[in-house]
Chains A and B, each alone.
Chain A
C-alpha cells in the first residue's frame, strides 16, 4: 500500500523511535508503527516550521521568497485528535489574514487518518469530542478491525487513492466490528475534561489559587512549579505562536528574516523595550497558556485543546491540564 502511494506522494507515517513514536518519511509499510499511542511531536511540524519569510538586500530592499513545494505529501496514520488539531489550525491560519506558508504546505498534503482503538494513559479526546474516532477532514480513514483495516474515503482524492489500492468490499461484520471497537475505546479513557464554559470560568478566576500552584508553588495533584521549559508548546498540536529573527550574512549587506515556533512560557515572549515584561511571573505565563488551551485566548476555539495528552506527558513538572480544569470547576 505504501509503495503504491509513494508513486504519487512523499509519505510520512508513525515509526517507532526509542521509547516513543515519531512521524517520519517512509518508503515501505514495514517501517510503520500503527499501534502507536501518540507521537512525541504532532504533525504540525510539517506545516508550521522554521522558515525564511523575508529576504533583504541593503540596496534593493525586501522580497518574499517563494515557498517551493515539491511532490505532494501524504500524512499516514494521523489520529483523530491530531487531525482535529490540523483542522483547527487550518481555520486559525486563514482568519483575517491568510498565512501563505502554512496554507501552501497544508494544501499540498493529503491525510490518511487512523481511528484510535487503544487510547493512551494521558489521552482525554473523548471528553472533547475530538476522538477516538473522526468523520471529517481526511482523505482516507483507517480503522483496525482485527484481521484487517477498514478503509473509508472522505474526499475524491481519497477515493482515487482507494481505487489504486485494490481493496475488498467490507463485510457487515467488519463494519459492526468498527463500531464495537470504537465504543470500547471510548470507554477506556482515564482522563477527561469539562470544557464547556471553562474559558469563561478561567477568565472570571484570574486570581484563582490554581495559577500560583502550577506557576509558583507546585502541589496541584502532586505537580511541581512550572520550569518555563516550553515543552508543552513544542508538543502541543494547536500551539501556533512564532518568533521572528533577522539574520544578516557576514557582508552585512543582505540577510534573511526567519520565523520559528515560540512559546508563551518563555520569559522573553512578552518582553518589551527597556526590559519591561508583561508576563514576568510564571503564574501569568502558565495561566496564559492554559487560557489559550481552554479556548479563551486570541486563537479562541481554533487553538484550543484537542485532548492528545502530549503536554501532560512532556511536562517535567507533572502539570496536568485536566487537573487545572478540575480545580477551576471546584472538583
Chain B
C-alpha cells in the first residue's frame, strides 16, 4: 500500500528533469531506510505508478529525494505538481548496489542521461564520509549540455570531495551552447579516467545501448564481468515479483535486480548487454 507523501521541495535540474524532495505525511518516519540502487513505486492519483530510483542521501532520513524526468503519464502528471501536493510512495524495492562488497574498494560510477539518479546516494555517502570507499570516480554523460543533470553539483560541491574524480561528456554540442568537457559518448571517457580494474567495482546505469558498448570496451581494458554491475530498467507494476512484467528469463528485475553483474546478465534473455 502506498504511503502518502508530500512534495517538500522541487529543484529544476534540466528543462525536463527535476529533483523532488518528498516527506511522508502519515504517522511514520518522514524518510525511509534503503540501500543505494533500490527504487520506489511512485503513485499519482488517477495516473498510476512508476518505478523510480532513490536519489536520497542515505545518511539523511528526513525525506526522500527522487530525480525524475518527464517522460510518461505518471512523471508527466508529477511535472505539473507543486510544493505541498501529495503523491503516494511505496518501497523500497530491489536488491540495490552491492554495498557490502563495495566497502573499502575503489568505485567507478558510470551513468548516462537520467541514470545518474540511482548513483547519487553513493556520491553523497562518499561526500559525507570518505572512509567508506578508497576512491570514487564518476563518469557521466548526456545527449547535450542542456541534458546534464546535477550539473552545478558536479562542477561545484561534488568537485571538492576528496578522493573523488568527476568526468563529464556530452554526445553533441548544439550551436550556441558552451561545453568545456568531453564531446562524445560516455565510453569515450574511459580513456581519460584514472580507474583501473584493480580492487574496483563498477556501477553503471543508463540506456541499455550505452551500457552495452561501455561494458564491452571495459572488458577489453581488463575489467571482469563480475566487477561490473548494470542497473536495468523494465516496466514494473507490483515491485514484488508477482505481476510478471519485468522478467528477464528466470529473474525479476524488481526483486532480483535492478542491479545485475555483467556476468549474471550473460545467462539472461531479452536485453542487449552482451557481445
Contact = CB atoms under 8 A, between A and B. Distances in A.
B46 A288 contact: no
Interface in A230-252: 240-248, 252
B43 A243 contact: no
Interface in B184-242: 233-235, 237-238, 240-242
B26 interface: yes
Nearest to A206: B269
A46 interface: no
Contacts of B271: 278
A95 B241 contact: yes
A288 B270 contact: yes
Interface in A24-45: none
A246 B242 contact: no
B84 interface: no
B29 interface: no
Contact of A278 (B25, B88, B234, B255): B234
B45 A271 contact: no
Interface residues of B, number: 39
Interface stretch (B97-105, B129-137, B245-253): B245-253
Interface in B241-275: 241-245, 247, 249-252, 255, 267, 269-271
B242 A203 contact: no
Given A270-B235, A271-B235, A203 B244 contact: no
Task: Classify the interface of chain B: helix, strand, loop or mixed.
Answer: loop
A279 to B, nearest CB: 6
A56 to B, nearest CB: 5
A262 B243 CA distance: 8
Contacts of B71: 273-274
Interface in B1-58: 1-4, 25-26, 43, 45-50
B113 to A, nearest CB: 10
B247 A297 contact: yes
Interface in A66-103: 93, 95-97, 99
A280 to B, nearest CB: 10
A269 B245 contact: yes
A62 interface: yes
Interface in A280-315: 284, 287-288, 291-292, 296-300
A190 interface: no
Q: Which of B48, B240, B249 has the most CB of A within 10 A?
A: B249
B236 to A, nearest CB: 9
B244 A54 contact: no
A273 B48 contact: no
Contacts of A278: 234-235, 270-271
Contact of A56 (B88, B242, B270): B88
Nearest to B26: A61
A297 B255 CA distance: 13
B241 A298 contact: yes
Given A242-B243, A271-B235, A273-B72, A58 B48 contact: no
A272 interface: yes
B249 A297 contact: yes
A264 interface: yes
B75 interface: yes
A212 to B, nearest CB: 14
Contacts of B270: 270, 278-279, 284, 288
B269 A62 contact: no
The 8 closest A-B pairs by CB, nearest first: A241-B244, A61-B4, A248-B46, A273-B72, A273-B71, A97-B240, A298-B247, A246-B48
26 contacts: A54-B2, A56-B43, A58-B45, A58-B86, A61-B3, A61-B4, A62-B1, A62-B3, A62-B4, A97-B241, A97-B242, A203-B269, A242-B237, A242-B244, A244-B48, A255-B45, A259-B243, A270-B234, A272-B234, A274-B71, A278-B235, A284-B269, A284-B270, A297-B249, A298-B244, A298-B250
